[in-house]
């Protein structure tokens, strides 16, 4: 994940794990379960409203609109970056298949009175997305989302969804990653074993699929998004994969012992976007602080 003008993202595993972790901290800080719940609800509303500001289409005529899933597929935190980043990952789908993924996250401003809201987006579409948004910051993809490639050595997709679930998880475990920061800090990335999102599609070419995330030990924010999909091909059903950058660091992805994908900063692959603007990051705006850290009195908005 990214930071706010260079810094990266982060706070909780799945929401229930997040609340469990928060509970341990509350005992130290004097917070309550009610405080944590209210805090989470305020942040979720902020992040969800921002996700809803985007309208995504798969065609220039805007007849194929992707649907925003209003509930986040993942909630995360990174307490090591800029005072503690907290985010929600949202997905847009078309006929059930993911077309775009976004992490809408925020963190305290250094003045203690404001909150910095950041957007990080990546296309997963096979089309060049058309994005409408009434705001100063814009996302204008110029290329399709991810490059889908066959998974070497994968078996043929099973006939039943239950069997394919087992296959998907086993195939995902074959992938690993690493990252390198501008300061030369190396991180081994671990795969979250549970998919962030599992789907079947009404598109006859898409049989089954799942969205996974690779994270570092610094937080639970995704650094790489991994798509695993069973598709109809000219040679019959096949498992394929695609990787998406979700970080400000250099990234590498391996399948078993072979490097199969990388995203190296430099040239047209900048802090804010990649060459095709499939990936986009920006610090969207500042809002009055709406939550307090656990155990601290809440900030009140100045009149």
pLDDT tens per residue across all 303 residues of the chain = 555 444 333 333 344 444 334 444 443 343 567 777 888 899 999 999 999 999 999 999 999 999 999 999 999 987 776 667 899 999 999 999 999 999 999 988 888 889 999 999 999 999 999 999 999 999 999 999 999 999 999 999 999 999 999 999 999 999 999 999 989 999 999 999 999 999 999 999 999 999 999 999 878 899 999 999 999 999 999 999 999 999 999 999 999 999 999 999 999 999 999 999 999 999 999 999 986 654 444 443 332
Matching residue, tokens 């155990």: 295
Q: What is the pLDDT of residue 230?
A: 98
Q: 141 with 276: CB under 8 angstroms?
A: yes
β-strand 130-132 against 97-108: which pairing, if any? unpaired
Asked whether residue 173 is assigned to any structural domain, the reply reads yes
Domain region containing 232: 15-288
Please report whether residue 114 resides in a domain: yes
301 within some domain: no
96 backbone dihedrals φ, ψ, rounded to 5°: 90, -20
Residue 43 lies in a domain: yes
Number of domains in the chain: 1
Q: What is the pLDDT of residue 2?
A: 57
Residue 2 lies in a domain: no
Q: What pLDDT score was predicted for residue 22?
A: 43
277 in a structural domain: yes
Q: What span, in angstroms and rounded, lies between the C-alpha atoms of 1 and 279?
A: 12
Is 9 inside a domain boundary?
no
User: What are 187's strand-pairing partners?
Assistant: 179
**Residue 71 within a domain:** yes
């Amino acid at each position: 994940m990214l930071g706010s003008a260079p810094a990266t993202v982060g706070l909780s595993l799945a929401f229930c794990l997040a609340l469990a972790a928060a509970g341990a901290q509350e005992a130290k800080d004097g917070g309550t379960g009610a405080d944590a719940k209210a805090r989470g609800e305020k942040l979720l509303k902020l992040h969800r409203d921002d996700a809803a500001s985007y309208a995504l289409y798969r065609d220039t005529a805007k007849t194929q609109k992707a649907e925003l899933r209003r509930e986040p597929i993942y909630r995360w935190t990174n307490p090591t970056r800029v005072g503690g980043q907290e985010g929600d990952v949202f997905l847009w789908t078309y006929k059930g298949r993911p077309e775009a993924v976004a992490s809408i996250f925020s963190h305290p401003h250094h003045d203690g009175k404001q909150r910095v809201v950041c957007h990080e987006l990546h296309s997963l579409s096979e089309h060049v997305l058309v994005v409408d948004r009434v705001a100063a910051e814009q996302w204008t993809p110029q290329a399709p989302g991810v490059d889908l490639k066959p998974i070497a050595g994968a078996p043929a997709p099973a006939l039943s969804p239950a069997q394919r679930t087992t296959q998907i998880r086993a195939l995902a475990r074959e992938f690993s990653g690493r990252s390198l920061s501008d300061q030369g800090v190396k991180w081994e990335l671990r795969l979250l074993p549970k998919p962030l999102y599992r789907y079947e599609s009404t598109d006859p070419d898409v049989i089954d699929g799942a969205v996974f995330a690779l994270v570092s030990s610094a937080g639970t924010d995704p650094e790489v998004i991994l798509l695993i999909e069973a598709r109809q091909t000219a040679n019959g059903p096949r498992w394929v994969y695609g990787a998406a950058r979700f970080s400000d660091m250099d990234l590498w992805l391996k399948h078993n012992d072979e490097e199969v994908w990388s995203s190296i900063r430099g040239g047209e692959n900048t802090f804010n976007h990649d060459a095709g603007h499939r990936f986009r990051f920006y610090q969207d705006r500042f809002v009055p602080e709406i939550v307090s850290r656990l155990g601290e009195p809440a900030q009140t908005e100045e009149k």
